[in-house]
Structure 1
Amino acid sequence: LCQRFGISRQTGYKWVNRYQAGGREALGDLSRRPHSSPNRTCDELQARVLEVRSQHPAWSAHKISRRLKDQGLQGVPSHSTVNAILQRHGCIGEKASEAATAWTRFERAEPNELWQIDFKGHFGMLDQRRCHPLTVIDDHSRFNLVLQACCSQDTETVYTHLRNAFACYGLPQQINADNGAPWGTPSKPGELTELAIRCIRLGIRMSHSRPYHPQTNGKDERFHRSLKAEVL
């Protein structure tokens, strides 16, 4: 019979023995789960992981693992294990897994080689005014250099906060922005704005993203996503 169906005798006897032991129900696929898991993360650590996740739903497995280590917890699992714990308890859906697809990343070699600047979309406050969050990110370190709640997006407001950043962190070699005001001129691409001229006089090169390509300032855009999820 084994020769007729092209299988080994070992495989044939396995199915015969399984049928004799449990009938047709025993012929289905069995669980591949091991009988014991000596390296399984203990329930206490899993509970701590889920506790941190519930307090900070926007945090990734990397950040949760690092926070537990910073709290002095012993035996903290790796970020891959933390990710598996979150998936096992339904904290990460299919859409979130798809969104976490690895991308080819790039960054400048040293801090202050390139800053990314932008305004996070404005929002209303209780006193009916609008808040315009200004952000600046260092391309190499992803360090948040500027995070200011502004009441407008004019040149003087932006330049004041940039000057404070220059005094604290030094001058960058280049600043990249989108094509909107006050650093760009949407109606006249390539024309220098007053803000750009001030930066150029300090020896800073100004550059702009391609129209409709926000990924050029991707690190700042990603920072905006965390800002919205955890603060706003």
Structure 2
Amino acid sequence: MTHANAPLTPAGRLRLARCVVDEGWPLRRAAERFQVAVSTAKRWAGRYRADGEAGMVDRSSRPHRCPSRLPTRTERRIIKVRVLRRWGPARIAYLLGLNPSTVHRVLRRYGLARLTHLDRATGQPVRRYEHAAPGDLIHVDIKKLGNIPDGGGHRVLGRAIGLRHKKATTTARYRHGKPRIGSSYLHNAVDDHSRLAYSEILDDEKKETAAAFWHRAQTFFTRNGITIERVLTDNGSCYKSRLWRDTLANAGISHKRTRPYRPQTNGKVERFNRTLLEEWAYARPYHSERERRDAYPDWLHTYNHHRGHTALGGHPP
């Protein structure tokens, strides 16, 4: 292929070949004149005899056969996992026992390499960003989860048994008579740069609860050497309150809110929410809400200290 320091362009090759073929120059003389090896002059003269001017252009360097290429069956498995589960190359590679670069190469060949870069709702490319230092921006959000009745819920046991367990767990009822076991509220804070996360399971999302959570979250980040400059939240009522505003202002922290109906702006904590659902909340059957809550500290420790993060090169936060 032609490169910056190549002595011959396609036009130069044509001149060399014509000197040898049409004008009868010896190969050595032509090689000296055009400052190339004799073998190079011989090759271009031979191509000119065989193909004329069309033989002077670069040919593909792709090999005729590739014994090390993945079997078609393996490629199909990669594509199937990609389409059905929307996993990235690293997770697919771990599942199939392959190198991530091999998986990425297959996805590129089939035009699926950018699947994870698309917004699920709009299909448009997602604009990604990352702040330069820890503490430049902290993403904060609340994730609401329905509580699990004693004995297990309907996700695992079905609606009939789940309803029976709800009735046995609580005497509280909605107006229409169905049992009311309440919800849990996960207050989450994730550092934009390092992905370090602080999270608590609380009983509501009131402004007083959110402000108290933030005091503890700030202490956690400070203990880990992170000085917070700015906080990003959605437009929830607790984050629009004067108490929240004053809590951040008294700490010298600026507050920024996302545009309405644009949760992807707060994408890092939204991704954290999805991860905790997949790997903790719904990862296995729980027989009570207390059992699920008791498992959360260990999962959060694993997330911060042991679980590899793709954006961090496979390292934990």
CA deviation after TM superposition for structure 1 residue 64, in Å: 4.3
For residues 111 and 64 of structure 1, do their structure 2 counterparts lie closer, same or farther at Cα, with a shift above 3 Å needed?
farther
Give the fraction of aligned pairs with identical amino acids, expressed as a percent: 25
CA deviation after TM superposition for structure 1 residue 164, in Å: 2.8
Query: Is it true that 1:215 corresponds to 2:264 in the alignment?
Result: yes
Give the total of aligned pairs.
181
- What per-residue deviation string (whole Å, max 9, x for no partner) do you get for residues 97-145 of structure 1? 884864231222211001111112332322523111222122223x142
CA deviation after TM superposition for structure 1 residue 202, in Å: 0.8
Return 200-209 or 221-230, whichever deviates more.
Answer: 221-230
CA deviation after TM superposition for structure 1 residue 209, in Å: 1.6
Query: Is it true that 1:109 corresponds to 2:132 in the alignment?
Result: yes
Question: Residues of 2 paired with 1:79 and 1:151: CA distance?
Answer: 43
CA deviation after TM superposition for structure 1 residue 205, in Å: 0.7
Counterpart for residue 130 of structure 1: 183
For residues 95 and 209 of structure 1, do their structure 2 counterparts lie closer, same or farther at Cα, with a shift above 3 Å needed?
closer
TM-score, length basis structure 2: 0.45
Looking at secondary structure, tell me which structure has more helix per residue. 2
- What per-residue deviation string (whole Å, max 9, x for no partner) do you get for residues 165-216 of structure 1? 322322410111111121115xxxxxxx212201210111112122222232
Contact 2:245 2:255 in 1 (8 A): yes
For residues 197 and 226 of structure 1, do their structure 2 counterparts lie closer, same or farther at Cα, with a shift above 3 Å needed?
same
2:67 pairs with one of 32, 35, 38: 38
Question: Residues of 2 paired with 1:174 and 1:75: CA distance?
Answer: 38
Counterpart for residue 140 of structure 1: 193
Question: Residues of 2 paired with 1:216 and 1:95: CA distance?
Answer: 16
Counterpart for residue 162 of structure 1: 214
Query: Is it true that 1:61 corresponds to 2:89 in the alignment?
Result: yes
Contact 1:125 1:131 in 2 (8 A): no
Q: Is the partner of 1:121 in helix, strand or coil?
A: strand
Q: Is the partner of 1:120 in helix, strand or coil?
A: strand
Q: Is the partner of 2:104 in helix, strand or coil?
A: helix
Contact 2:231 2:256 in 1 (8 A): yes
Amino acid at match of 2:203: C
The higher radius of gyration belongs to 2
For residues 61 and 197 of structure 1, do their structure 2 counterparts lie closer, same or farther at Cα, with a shift above 3 Å needed?
same
CA deviation after TM superposition for structure 1 residue 156, in Å: 3.6
CA deviation after TM superposition for structure 1 residue 219, in Å: 2.1
- What per-residue deviation string (whole Å, max 9, x for no partner) do you get for residues 145-169 of structure 1? 2222221112343333323332232
For residues 77 and 121 of structure 1, do their structure 2 counterparts lie closer, same or farther at Cα, with a shift above 3 Å needed?
same
Amino acid at match of 1:172: I
CA deviation after TM superposition for structure 1 residue 222, in Å: 2.7
Counterpart for residue 245 of structure 2: 196
Q: Which runs of 5+ in 2 are unaligned?
A: 1-62, 150-168, 170-180, 283-317
Question: Residues of 2 paired with 1:163 and 1:134: CA distance?
Answer: 12
Q: Which runs of 5+ in 1 are unaligned?
A: 1-33, 88-93, 186-192
Amino acid at match of 2:138: W
